[in-house]
Amino acid sequence: MNSLPTELIYVLIFVAIVLFQYMTRGLRQQAQQESAQRERLSKVPEEVEEPPEASLVPSVAVGQFGRTQAPSASPAHARRRFARGSLMATKREMQNAVVIAVILGPCRTYEPHDSR
């Protein structure tokens, strides 16, 4: 034992402790996964239930035969195609958008690469 320095022994002990914790954590996670899988399998029913058959012929009320029911559309009050109010609801939101635009600045996509 005298040939090994004490620092190396401490490092080896530390590595062994970390390796032991890593292995126990891996085994614990594997056991939890197996137990969760067993629970999921126990919840699955053994028999497959068949869904009820849907009728192929739609039912029609007798009193409404020959009449068409057109859906009534709600009147849309669109003054403009793109309203300013739909983009920024309040004056505060507009101010925030202007501040953000000033901070970010113009788009630099088409500018040449500048190496500073």
Q: What is the pLDDT of residues 39-95, one digit of tens each?
A: 877 776 666 667 666 666 556 565 655 555 555 555 555 555 656 656 667 888 888
Q: Residue 32's domain spans which residues?
A: 1-44
Domain membership of residue 104 (yes or no) is no
Total domains in the chain come to: 1
Flag whether 88 is in a domain.
no
| pLDDT score at 13 | 95
For residue 82, being part of any structural domain is answered with no
Summarize the confidence of residues 1-6 as an average pLDDT: 78
Q: Is residue 39 part of a domain?
A: yes
pLDDT value of position 83: 61
**Which residue, 76, 78, 98, 95, is CA-closest to 86?**
78
On whether residue 10 sits in a domain, the answer given is yes
Q: State the pTM of this model.
A: 0.32
